[in-house]
Amino acid sequence: MTEAPRAIHPRPRTVHELLFAPDTRGVLIAASRDPDAKMTFIVTPAPGLFPGGPAGPIAVKIPATPLAAAAIRHETEMLIDLRDAGLGGLGETVPRYVETLDSDGLPALVSTALRGKPMSVAYHHWLHTARARLVAVDFALAGGWLRRFQTATSGERARIRWAEEVADQLRQRWTGHPQLDSALIRLTSADHQLGDQRVCRTMVHGDYWFGNLLVDDGVITGVVDWEGGERSGWPLRDLVRFAVSYCLYLDRHTRPGHRVLRHRGLRRTGFGAGIRYGLLGQGWLSDLVRSYLRDGLTALGLPAGLWYSAALVGLGEVAALANDDGFGSDHLELLATLPLWPTEGKE
């Protein structure tokens, strides 16, 4: 009996074959030392290297650890799902999957490179976050793109179990932490408010902070880094993540103990002072944060008054999922010390 011939699968191209091909040019734009550390290159490939593929630059994300490789595999799946999601014109703001390369036995992701600069570049310009008009534009851009994306990917309605899920994640990660019980009390309070509501599940970015939003000529031209994405999840995740991450770094350029310029009542005092100020403070920034959250909830068909409960759960999610233990623990401790109910305008 003759053995049936085996199917022959072509060997994946290697990262070296791409990066060191003649006439290929590239630049390293990001590298990290996290447990899931990766290097990201923007590459202009040599002519003919991708026949029928992208005509312009590509992004190449290379894992440094097996944990990073798992994140890249997940992002690859997300980009393929996004390609098939029927996003219309919004699809131009999402990287398109091109190819998977071999990097010493680990997968490297090749996707289209999108034009624009990260919103974080302008954020850290001198006095950017001290100017109400500029900050309002950032929130409007982020909120506008997110509403379009959530509308385009809206699915079945479900009772919100987000707070319950985050509480379980915190118990698993932070067993024995002295602030865990206090943090869980806040999540239980939030669950009492959110758990009776229903919302349409949507695709979720998972790390919707201003560093992952590309801006050019006053519009969002790209949303990148979909490693934490979810095909069907709670849309409140992305809504809250942008707000709390934006507030977190308000005091980054202020000396410890000093007042943050043009934010009355905000000083650089320990971790999360900006978040506490954004949620509970008095001033134009706090008003803007609360309006952004309320408007986002209303767009999802939820009561605007749930904004604070959603914010508490969003902080808990960062504590549960952060790559860095110190960063996660800091968020856990911040959550544990926030009031159960908002005290807007009171210091």
Both 98 and 125 in a single domain? no
- Both 100 and 140 in one domain: the answer is no
263/271 Cα distance (integer angstroms): 17
Residue 253 has pLDDT above 60, yes or no: yes
- 255 pLDDT exceeds 90? yes
Q: Are 21 and 46 in contact (CB under 8 A)?
A: yes
Considering the domain architecture, whether residues 124 and 91 belong to the same structural domain is answered as no
Range of lowest pLDDT (45-49, 131-135, 279-283): 45-49
User: Which helix (H) or strand (E) element contains residue 291?
Assistant: helix 284-299
Q: How confident is the model at residue 170 (pLDDT cuts 50, 70, 90)?
A: very high
**Would the pLDDT of 5 be above 50?**
no
Assigned domain for 319 exists: yes
Of 13-17, 249-253, 267-271, the range with the lowest mean pLDDT is 13-17
Q: Is the pLDDT of residue 305 over 60?
A: yes
Confidence bin at 55 (pLDDT 50/70/90): confident
Residue 11 has pLDDT above 90, yes or no: no
Strand partners, 127: none
Q: Is the CB of residue 240 less than 8 Å from the CB of residue 293? A: yes
| CATH number for 79 | 3.30.200.20
Q: Are residues 40 and 147 in the same domain?
A: no
- Bridge-based pairing state of the strands 97-103 and 106-112: antiparallel
Rounded to whole angstroms, the Cα distance separating 243 from 126 reads: 20
In a domain, 95, yes or no: yes
CB of 237 within 8 A of CB of 165? no
End-to-end Cα separation, the chain, in angstroms? 84
Average pLDDT estimate for 261-286: 97
| DSSP structure string for 77-133 | HHHHHHHTS--GGGGGGSPPEEEEEEETTEEEEEEEPPPSEEHHHHHTSTTGGG-HH
Confidence of residue 73 (pLDDT cuts 50, 70, 90): very high
247 contacts 275 by C-beta, under 8 angstroms: yes
Q: In this model, does residue 296 exceed pLDDT 80? A: yes
Q: Structure tokens of 179?
A: 């602030």
Are 46 and 160 in a shared domain? no
Per-residue model confidence (pLDDT) at position 34? 75
Q: Which two tokens stand for residue 120?
A: 């974080």
Does any domain span residue 1? Answer: no
Q: Are residues 165 and 76 in the same domain?
A: no
Q: Percent of the chain, pLDDT > 90? A: 86
Q: Which residues of 299-331 are buried (b: 16+ CB within 10 A; e: fewer)?
A: ebebeeebbbbbbbbbbbbbbbbbeeeeebbbb
Q: What is the mean pLDDT of residues 162-187?
A: 98
DSSP secondary structure string, 259-274?
Answer: BPTT-TT-B--STTHH
Is 326's pLDDT higher than 60?
A: yes
Question: For 331-343, what is the mean pLDDT?
Answer: 96
For residue 259, tell me if it sits in a domain.
yes
Q: If you average pLDDT over residues 204-219, what whole number do you get?
A: 97
| % of the chain beyond a pLDDT of 70 | 95
Given this model, what pLDDT does residue 50 score? 82
Q: Is residue 344 part of a domain?
A: no
Last residue of a domain, one of 112, 134, 165: 112
Rounded to an integer, the average pLDDT of 249-257 is 97
Asked if the model's pLDDT at residue 104 lies above 60, the reply is yes
112, 135, 161: which is the final residue of a domain? Answer: 112
CA separation (Å) from 168 to 196, 227, 244? 19, 21, 21
- Full domain range(s) for residue 321: 117-337
Please report the pLDDT score of residue 12 as a whole number: 60
Evaluate whether residue 219 is within a structural domain.
Answer: yes
Query: Are 123 and 57 members of one domain?
Result: no
Regarding whether 210 and 85 lie in a shared domain, the answer is: no
What pLDDT does residue 23 have? Answer: 85
Residue 6, domain member (yes or no)? no
User: Are residues 58 and 28 both part of a single domain?
Assistant: yes
Q: How confident is the model at residue 224 (pLDDT cuts 50, 70, 90)?
A: very high
Q: How far, in Å, CA of 24 to CA of 15, rounded? A: 12
Give the separation between CA 208 and CA 229, rounded to whole angstroms: 10
Whether residue 30 sits in one domain with residue 161: no
User: Cα separation of 307 and 295, whole Å?
Assistant: 9
Contacting residues for 4 by C-beta, under 8 A, at least 6 apart = none
In a domain, 347, yes or no: no
Average pLDDT, the chain: 93
* 347 CA to centre of own chain: 29
Query: DSSP for 64-89?
Result: SSHHHHHHHHHHHHHHHHHHTS--GG
Find where tokens 């994640």 sit.
Answer: 169
Same domain, 276 and 145: yes
> CATH code at 222?
3.90.1200.10
**pLDDT, mean of residues 66-90:** 96
**In this model, does residue 79 exceed pLDDT 90?**
yes
Q: Are residues 144 and 101 in the same domain?
A: no
Number of structural domains found in the chain: 2
Q: Point out the domain boundary residue: 112, 131, 155.
A: 112
